[in-house]
Amino acid sequence: MKFTALCLASMVAASSALLRVPMKKRSDEEFLANRREVVAARANQLTDTGDVVINNYENAQYYGEISLGSPAQNFEVIFDTGSANLWVAGKDCSSTNCKGHPTYDSSASSDYVVNGTTFDIEYGSGACTGFLSQDTLNVGGLTLPEQIFAEITDASGMGVGYKVGKFDGILGLAFDELAVCGDPNDGGYIPGCVPTPFGRLASTGLIDEAVFSFYLGGLTPDFPANMTGFPGELTLGGIDEDHYTGDLAYVPVSKAGYWQITVDSVGIDGTDFSTADTREAIVDSGTSMLVGPPDAMDQLADKLGAKKMSSTGEYVVGCHKDLPDIEVTIAGVDYSISSDDYMLKDGPICILLMLGMDLGPEGLGWILGDVFMRKYYTVFDMDQERVGFALAKASE
């Protein structure tokens, strides 16, 4: 088996070394408009009391194109290192937030194969349900036959975030262990039951190495006139050295599932806001913010002189403030995030791109989201189970 994969790999290597998937970023204006809509909708829902938990995907900013089926049906998906399933809305999606999104029509594809296993994924605000199907997946110019993915029939659990979101689905890039199918109310989830697209690209030898890298782009010289900036890029099968400066520093994955690593500290001016119980972090392209334990985040925001808005849990601060860097230390290397990186101007106030959220047991404390990944080019190495960071080039 292994030998076959190697042969295929070397055959492919001759023609294509790195595959580049362009990623678009929503402009900050759109991001803020989306945020207001989400916050307003949530305020009306009266589901959560106190803090409104902003779901990961409600503020997702980076997405790129894939296609499913033959002939190809195109979708914009979030390339999400924080999950491991591929899903798009199916033709029969009944929830109102599916409107406006292209939906997958299995009857229009000659490669479609029925599967039908229940798929049910839980978000803070509810569940998204559907079923598994099999079809040809095209990503980054690579054709991956017989990919199992989920067709969503009810996306109401994604709420207004999906309705106003630019993305039609999600392509998870976490480890196979995190890919689920099954029904939590009937027999439970079956972890690892769906082979992930990236795992299959690697195991079938369609890419040289089980490595992918994220470059989230940078600002153009005409900022702020152009708030979108240079497009980002997901590189499949390796590393693009043109997108960073200096050397990559690697940290081992502490637990394969998420891209989970251990941080040494998360601090400001030498004050560490992480504790012995909260030093596990996940590197998550599907989350735009820096997420931390609620108490730690409150303290950190306090140190920055920011106020917490009780309605949304967001931290706001006057834009004029000259705020210190946040230092994230990983495997002995300091990664600084400056106020330019972690603040977003919304009229007269600035919002901190940070959120306090209880991520559950097992010491998981932090999410290093796009705020971090925009500044640091990130390499996800599945073969060696490690994550590498280097300073991203501000522009190309």
Ligand X SMILES: *[C@@H]1O[C@H](CO)[C@@H](O)[C@H](O)[C@H]1NC(C)=O
Residue 170 half-sphere exposure toward CB, CA atoms < 13 A:
26
User: Is 220 one of the binding residues for ligand X (CB under 6 A)?
Assistant: yes
Q: Which of 80, 168, 208, 346 is catalytic?
A: 80
User: Is 250 one of the binding residues for ligand X (CB under 6 A)?
Assistant: no
∠ Cα 131 132 135 (to 5°):
140
Minimum CB–partner distance for residue 179 and ligand X (Å): 9
* Contact partners, residue 15, CB within 8 Å, separation at least 6: none
Q: Which residues are 333's β-sheet partners?
A: 330
* Contact partners, residue 352, CB within 8 Å, separation at least 6: 301, 304, 306, 314, 315, 316, 317, 342, 343
Active site residue 242: no
Give 210's DSSP letter: S
Minimum CB–partner distance for residue 118 and ligand X (Å): 10
User: Is 226 one of the binding residues for ligand X (CB under 6 A)?
Assistant: yes
Q: Residue 180: which H helix or E strand, with range?
A: strand 180-183
The rounded distance, in Å, linking the Cα atoms of 44 and 31 is 20
At 245 the three-state DSSP class reads strand
User: Is 230 one of the binding residues for ligand X (CB under 6 A)?
Assistant: yes
Give 90's DSSP letter: B
User: Is 137 one of the binding residues for ligand X (CB under 6 A)?
Assistant: no
User: Is 193 one of the binding residues for ligand X (CB under 6 A)?
Assistant: yes
Residue closer to ligand X (CB basis): 191 or 363: 191
Segment contacting ligand X by CB under 6 A, of 11-19, 69-77, 225-233, 307-315: 225-233
Active site residue 341: no
User: Is 132 one of the binding residues for ligand X (CB under 6 A)?
Assistant: yes
User: Is 203 one of the binding residues for ligand X (CB under 6 A)?
Assistant: no
Q: Which of 168, 176, 284, 370 is catalytic?
A: 284
Query: Which one, of 237, 219, 238, lies nearest residue 25 by Cα?
Result: 219
User: Is 219 one of the binding residues for ligand X (CB under 6 A)?
Assistant: no
Residue closer to ligand X (CB basis): 192 or 324: 192
Residue with token string 């294509």: 16
Minimum CB–partner distance for residue 50 and ligand X (Å): 38
* Region 88-117 residues binding ligand X, contact defined as CB under 6 A: 115-117
Where do contacts with ligand X occur on this chain (CB under 6 A)? 115-117, 132, 148, 193-194, 220, 226, 228-230
List the catalytic residues: 80, 284
